Chain A
Amino acid sequence: MIARILATTRTEIHIARRNRWVLIAVLLMVVFSLVLSAAGSAPTGALGADRLSVVVASLTSLSVYLVPLVALLMSFDAVAGEVERGTLPLLLTYPVARWQILTGKLLAHTAILILAIGAGYVAAAGIAIATDPAAVSGLGALWRLTWTSVLLGATFLGIGYALSSLSRRVSGAAGVAIGVWLGFVVLYDLGLLAAIVADDGGFFTTHIFPAALLANPADAFRLFNLTAADASGAASGVGGAALAIPLWQSLTSILVWPLLSLGLAAWAFRKVEP
């Protein structure tokens, strides 16, 4: 069983390497992390935090956008691509269960995400520690950011597989993926901010807003990392607006979302008739 899952993983890694996805994902994370690391050096003195913690706060805001994007870009083709190329019927006649195929793809794409996230974060941390030895105290925050980024990536991989199974066409899946990304990481927050402004401290702001933040995996990720690092001063916007939410709640959201999205993906893939 494990061998069959790993067979798919191996093949997917071959494909991702050939299609330059590994290279693109790693470069994207490294370049943006380095830029942020360089740009994030200015406020160190004003906040009194070590340099790495400030970099982690900046990386959190970066990863909220980049990690879901990279995850969706890798996953939108996963099922729709097989359907469109005509490779799915043959694959499904092999003695391998659908969930094993999906798990194999998930492992491959998660491995690539870990590589990209790791490369980006290590590069940023390396610069921070090289210029400020005291920054070593921020390593805990960096580790927290790393594993939550992987979970955030897994969530969006699952969402990508689900919409890839449901849309049946690669072009359709790509369009929906971009829409999902915009919705979760951009429009959702804009909508919440607009509602808060309109509500002016009323019932929405005190009751619905915290729940709405937890319901969005990207917001829960940002919330958890900023709250845990107590670095909300370095963040702006929605992240800074909801310190009242306890840490365990955002942690729960981060842990539950991957299960939810991957469950959705498995359900959607089961429904695909070759």
Chain B
Amino acid sequence: MTSTLTISQLTKSFGGVSALSEVSLGLSPGERVALLGHNGAGKSTLMKIILGLVAPTGGEISVCGAAPGHPSVRAQVAYLPENVAFHPALTGLEQTSYYMRLRGLNPSGAMAMLDRVGLAGAAKRRIGTYSKGMRQRVGLAQALIGHPSLLILDEPTSGLDPVSRRDFYELLDGLAATGASILLSSHALTEVEARTDRLLILSGGRMVAEGTLADLRRKAALPVVMHVTPRNGYDLMADLPGATRSNGGVQITCAQEEKLANLARIVALNDKVADLEVIPPSLEDIYSHFSRRDGQ
């Protein structure tokens, strides 16, 4: 199967200031990829280039087999901008109907689209009266119109409550199952880890990491922390060289590859140990590790 999106050595600079440098990535049908990065890391710029809204300075890009922004491409690509906005005087139903007509579809399905994102009850109210979360849902509804092959979602879950987020990711899973590729951006690694197939981390316009969460964990090689609680107040410091006192017990900080050896040492202590807790590096630690590497 050919890839939905291919980007190689993409560069973009605004008046001499580099926004993206030598970014390469590919997206296969049905793949869900999360794009992570700080504000100003280049996520939105990359998305706008994929959509054909902004022209790249250099590099090559192919979307659904053609140049970005080509009419045949736009018919297959859906976009949800960051802080999506609509005309406040239109109702949710009118706005969705408009977008369906622009995609050459019968707008009679607009109510069903709004129902999919839980907005059927407010469909005939003006968007000006909507909360931020409701506007975000209108944005999601329009991105679902017409079975797009590629969805570009810029911070799609901002403003959504946890339940709505879960519903949203279920919608995405359904779309991906039918072959749609999804590229979504987020600030929070914790949110996207279980929901995407692959992670990309942008920092200062460069792709600093790419892979599954397990890949990134391995590449980051951040230390593992083990917290050992002694039985009956034993002092374990002598038994476990290199440990530090912590919280009524001792703590061992070691590299990933020393983890099993350390576990064996602790298990060998037998009934001196009441409890053992292994704390892997948190998602935020991994994210910070990559996104801060470039001079932040």
- A residues near B (Cβ < 8 Å) are 3-4, 6-8, 10-11, 14-15, 18-19, 85-87, 89-90, 92-97, 273-274
Contacts and interface: CB of A to CB of B under 8 A. Distances in A.
Nearest to A91: B102
Given A86-B83, A95-B102, 11 more contacts: A3-B101, A8-B98, A8-B102, A14-B94, A86-B85, A87-B87, A89-B79, A92-B53, A94-B99, A94-B103, A95-B74
Given A3-B104, A95-B74, A95-B75, A18 B54 contact: no
Interface of B: 48, 51-54, 71, 74-75, 77-81, 83-87, 89-90, 94-95, 98-99, 101-104, 126, 139, 142
Given A10-B98, A95-B103, A87 B53 contact: no
B85 A97 contact: no
Given A18-B89, A86-B85, A95 B53 contact: no
B90 A15 contact: yes
Given A3-B104, A15-B90, A95-B104, A89 B71 contact: no
Contact of B98 (A11, A18, A274): A11
Nearest to B70: A95
Contacts of A274: 48, 53
A14 B89 contact: yes
B74 A11 contact: no
A9 to B, nearest CB: 10
A7 B87 contact: no
Given A89-B48, A89-B81, A94 B102 contact: yes
B89 A19 contact: yes
Contacts of A87: 85-87
A15 B89 contact: yes
Nearest to A100: B102
Contacts of B95: 11
Contacts of B85: 85-87
Most A CB contacts (10 A, CB to CB) among B54, B98, B139 go to B98
A93 B102 contact: no
B150 to A, nearest CB: 11
B5 to A, nearest CB: 14
A15 B126 CA distance: 11
21 contacts: A3-B101, A4-B102, A10-B98, A10-B101, A11-B87, A11-B98, A15-B87, A15-B90, A18-B126, A86-B83, A89-B51, A89-B79, A89-B81, A90-B79, A93-B78, A93-B79, A95-B71, A95-B103, A96-B102, A273-B54, A274-B48
